[in-house]
Amino acid sequence: MSFTATVFQNEYLPAGSGEVHAIVTVDAGDAAVAAVAPSERSIVLIVDTSGSMSSPMSKIHAARQAVAAAVDELPDGVNFAIVSGFHEATLMYPRSGRDLVAASETTRADAREVASNLDPSGGTAISTWLQLARELFDGHAGIKLAYLLTDGKNESESADRLTEELARCAGQFQCDARGVGDQWVVDELRRITSTLLGQVDIIKEPDLMDDDFRDFMARALGKTIGDVRLQVWAPQGANIRYVKQVAPSIEDLTALAEPADTLTNTYPTGAWAPGESRDYHVCIDVPPGEVGDERLAARIMLALDGEVTQTSLVKSIFTGDHALTTRIDPQVAHYTGQAELATAIREGLAARRDGDEAEATVKLGRAVQLAHESGNESTVRLLAKVVEVEDPAAGTVRLKKKVETIDEMELDTRSTRTVRVTPKGGA
């Protein structure tokens, strides 16, 4: 497999310091294709069928149609199931047993019929939905992906129940989550996708469900490598402060670390498609050094199906040359700015909701400035629905008096999407 990892960093540190930053670009070449049998792919569609999906009825009608359309995309042999989620979880298809079923002309037709009968009632308890998905995936090897659609808050159970179930699901399968309309909670779905290495997004109108389900299926079926992990070795006395995915979106992987040995942590990255590329920000605290000291700060390794395929080095060279130590690597600078952008958006929206207009103006103005500087035009457009932009370069904005809730949620949901810069070098 043609996976490669390239490290970008400024390896020069001032004497007495020890904070090392590196951006690791991981590329799955077009040749990175593993032969994946249909039976090694498993997909579970989780559909909110709580009572709120009937208000308006266009939501449940669109969900029925979208599930049927997604099922039609399944190649023969791929394992799948449809879960109906309300204040508990019900396996809608297959109709009998407690396992996934292989796609075929017959099972696809049966599943479409089941989808047409999805009926809304009851409350919302997402932990039960995820638990059933986990049980269905259990015993199946290969690439395991779920799609969760909801229109509301997780209000039929305690927050602790969801936290506990997420801990059980972590590493067992990946899960994308979608919120339809404006009555769900962005942070709630983001917590699910961050733990389960998926993507969160908003579906603003019910009639957009069909396309989103199809897009999910296309991405899911394009994944050919199921177990890719980033391994970070740091020397004795050093500390791995954090490991974050920073492109195509910001996801903090730090809490997902699993120790490989006393000096090495392993971070899951989920399934990959040929030609896919992602960037990771690794921060290491190394023991402070004196002028002239050179140390290895970290080894970054790629492990595919448990086998290490490549190792790249992160270095630290201590110097008294101010010109060297103040030089910021363009990749590190860019993604530090993208992380600040996401934080500014979330803090600005929170201040706006709390009625602190001065703080909201400062934070959202800074967000506009950062998005403009980095060329993140999609985020600039979303910000323009919340603020009047007077000078994007200076970050001068005015809060809009009337903002649609769904536009605010769209900005919040997509605040962690980043743009990439073209690397000019690497180690």
pLDDT, residue 97, reads 85
3-state secondary structure of 211: helix
pLDDT, residue 1, reads 56
3-state secondary structure of 32: coil
Low-confidence ranges of the chain (pLDDT < 50): none
Type of residue at 87: H
The alpha carbon torsion through 33, 39, 40, 44 (nearest 10 deg) reads 120
pLDDT, residue 33, reads 60
Question: What is the C-alpha to C-alpha distance for residues 285 and 21, in angstroms, rounded to an integer?
Answer: 9
Question: What is the C-alpha to C-alpha distance for residues 49 and 157, in angstroms, rounded to an integer?
Answer: 16
CB 415 within 8 A of CB 348: no
Closest Cα to residue 346, out of 277, 276, 250, 255? 250
Side-chain half-sphere exposure of 1, counting CA atoms within 13 A: 28
309 backbone dihedrals φ, ψ, rounded to 5°: -110, -20
Q: pLDDT tens-digit profile of 295-353? A: 999 999 999 888 898 899 999 999 999 999 999 999 999 999 999 999 999 999 999 99
3-state secondary structure of 403: coil
DSSP state of 45: E
What single string gives the DSSP state of each residue in 115-157? HTT----S---HHHHHHHHHHHHTT--SEEEEEEEESS---SS
Q: pLDDT tens-digit profile of 108-133? A: 999 999 999 999 999 999 999 999 99
Question: What is the C-alpha to C-alpha distance for residues 385 and 392, in angstroms, rounded to an integer?
Answer: 14
Side-chain half-sphere exposure of 301, counting CA atoms within 13 A: 17
What single string gives the DSSP state of each residue in 326-352? TPPPHHHHHHHHHHHHHHHHHHHHHHH
DSSP state of 40: G
Q: pLDDT tens-digit profile of 246-265? A: 999 999 999 999 999 999 99
pTM for this model (two decimals): 0.94
pLDDT, residue 32, reads 55
pLDDT, residue 359, reads 98
Q: Label residue 68 exposed, middle or buried (CB < 10 Å: 0-12, 13-18, 19+).
A: buried
Closest Cα to residue 11, out of 281, 311, 319, 423? 319
Tell me the residue length of the chain.
427
pLDDT, residue 105, reads 98
DSSP state of 89: E
pLDDT, residue 424, reads 53
Helix axes 126-137, 186-195, angle to 10 degrees: 20
pLDDT, residue 184, reads 98
The alpha carbon torsion through 285, 289, 295, 296 (nearest 10 deg) reads 0
Domains and CATH numbers, the chain: 3-34+228-322 (2.60.40.3670), 38-222 (3.40.50.410), 331-413 (1.20.120.1690)
168 backbone dihedrals φ, ψ, rounded to 5°: -70, -35
Rama region for 122: left / alpha / beta (φ>0; ψ in -120 to 50; rest)? left
Sequence-separated (6 or more) residues with CB below 8 Å from residue 386: 349, 352, 364, 399, 400, 403, 407, 408, 411
